[in-house]
Amino acid sequence: MENFISVLEKSYSKIADTYFCDKNLTEGYWSNLEKNEQVLLLSQLDRKTSMEVVNNLFPQLEEIIFDPMRAVGLRLLDIKPNEHGVDYGCMWGNLLIYAANNCEAMLGIDQTKESLAFVNHRLKEERIGNCYLLNANLRDDLPFSEMFDFAIINGVLEWVAEDNQVELEKFLSRSRFKLISPRENPRNIQLRFLEMVRNNLKTNGRMYLAIENRYDYQHFLWKRDPHPNIYYTAFLPRKVSNLICNFWFGRPYVNYLYSFGELENLVKEAGFDEVEKYAVFPDYRFPIKIIPLDKYDNNDYEPVYNLVQTSDIKKKIFHRIRREIDNIIYKKLKLLYFAPSIIIIARKG
């Protein structure tokens, strides 16, 4: 029976343990590092372990790349040892490696060749032989119809409509460099992507989708919309956000976030049937608490944050206030709809 591995062999070229498209190699780029930093990182991997290199050059990325707790949400997928899975936008491979350890075979897809080279190095270090890497653009049609038991989309949906190469720090700095506008409404691009994800799942296949919540209450107060890095665009009507983004960046708002309800609608529109919704604290990247939205018992809710001890009195006051507001919103009023992040487990019927 044909599986994703035979399709990879048939449809793509294998270079240095990574599969590439024959026609034209994708020129996509999305990374926490700038391109020259990635080159530096990769150049040192033949002499030291990946953890040593990261600790030495970019210690701020250590947790993002290596912390196993980042993958804790994947337990919701209940991955079985005989299953095949795919991680769309696998980046540094943190969730990909966790999943590969739990299933029969795993495919990691990313548009950034440099990230895949890093992941490939990590796979060798960890002696993981059941993980395959593909360099591809997630907007392209991928020929894996009904081949996966589960799919992971972790912090990717909001970037799918982004045509620009993203070197994250540069991208978040609010300089008015010319950005490419999306070719069409970002929601349509996201919808098509989810349809493709669904199509690549077997019947009863599950999708793990993690993203920031558009209506995180902090967006209304002190928190910037994390992608354009400006205030209020997350929750304002798209037309208003377009105006604001046009003013700052010369292009409309692209990184669409959703509320619980909007995301459920989008996922169902893409053809998924059963949808379980979870509120995630303090965010989906480093989840500490994940609460099923429909079965919420508030008795033992406590605010959780990944905080470093600080002696700064202003920060301490801010943390205290935020804690109190969290208690009021999530514990007393039970308004989980204002949680910081969302995880959705959706099933293809």
Partner 1 sequence: MAYELINSGSHQNDVALFRYKEHSKDYYLKVSLCNDANKVLEKEFEGYKWFSETIKKELCNVELIKKHFYELKIPKYNGIKFPDNSTLDKNRVYVEKIILFYKDRWPINEKFAVHGDLALNNIIFSEKDINIIDWEHFHLSEIQNYGVDIINMVFILLSNQVIKDFNLSYSTLEFLKKCYRILLNGNDSMKIAGRPFCYARQYIINNKHNYREGINIEEKFCITKFDERALEKLDRHIVGQ
Position 34 contacts partner 1 (CB under 8 A): no
Binding mask 132-171 for partner 1 (x = CB under 8 A): ----------------------------------------
- As a whole number of Å, the end-to-end CA separation of the chain is 22
- For β-strands 30-31 and 166-167, DSSP reports them as parallel
Which candidate, 205, 19, 50, places its Cα nearest to that of 113? 19
Least CB distance to partner 1 at residue 81 (A) = 7
Q: Is 127 in the site for partner 1 (CB under 8 A)?
A: no
**Binder of partner 1 out of 68, 250, 261, 349 (CB under 8 A):** 68
The residue (of 57 and 69) whose beta carbon lies closer to partner 1 is 69
Nearer to partner 1, 289 or 319 (CB): 289
| Position 288 contacts partner 1 (CB under 8 A) | yes
Contacts with partner 1, 96-125, as mask; x by CB under 8 A:
--x--xx-----------------------
* Residue pointed to by tokens 């700095």: 173
Tell me the two tokens of residue 285: 């990247």
How many chain residues bind partner 1 (CB under 8 A)? Answer: 23
Can you list the alpha helix ranges (DSSP code H) found in 176-312?
Answer: 186-199, 238-249, 260-269
CA distance to 49, 131, 252, 253, per residue, from 126 (Å): 11, 11, 42, 40
The DSSP call for residue 17 is T
| Antiparallel, parallel or unpaired: β 201-212 and 341-347 | antiparallel
Q: Is residue 290 a contact residue for partner 1 (CB under 8 A)? A: yes
For partner 1, the closer CB: 94 or 190 = 94
Query: Quick one: which H or E segment has residue 12?
Result: strand 12-15
User: Looking at 268, 276, 327, 331, which residue binds partner 1 (CB under 8 A)?
Assistant: 276
Contact between 294 and partner 1 (CB under 8 A)? Answer: yes
**Is position 16 an interface residue for partner 1 (rule: CB under 8 A)?**
no
Question: Rounded to 5 degrees, what are φ and ψ at 310?
Answer: -135, 150
Does residue 71 touch partner 1 according to CB under 8 A? yes
Segment near partner 1 (CB under 8 A), from 9-17, 72-80, 182-190, 248-256? 72-80
Q: Which stretch binds partner 1 (CB under 8 A): 5-13, 27-35, 154-162, 286-294?
A: 286-294
Of residues 59, 81, 129, 237, which one binds partner 1 by CB under 8 A?
81
Residues 272, 199: Cα–Cα separation, whole Å? 10
Report the residue number, 161 or 345, with the smaller CB distance to partner 1: 345
What is the distance between the alpha carbons of residues 287 and 223, in angstroms, rounded to a whole number?
18
Residue pair 155/40 in contact (Cβ under 8 Å)? The answer is no
Rounded to an integer, what distance in angstroms lies between the CA atom of residue 35 and that of residue 223? 28
Tokens standing for residue 348: 């293809």
Residue 132 identity: Y
| Smaller CB separation from partner 1, 30 or 284 | 284
Tell which positions 173-232 bind partner 1, by CB under 8 A.
Answer: none
340 touches partner 1 (CB under 8 A) = no
**Site of interaction with partner 1 (CB under 8 A):** 68-69, 71-73, 75-76, 78, 81, 98, 101-102, 276, 287-292, 294-295, 300, 304
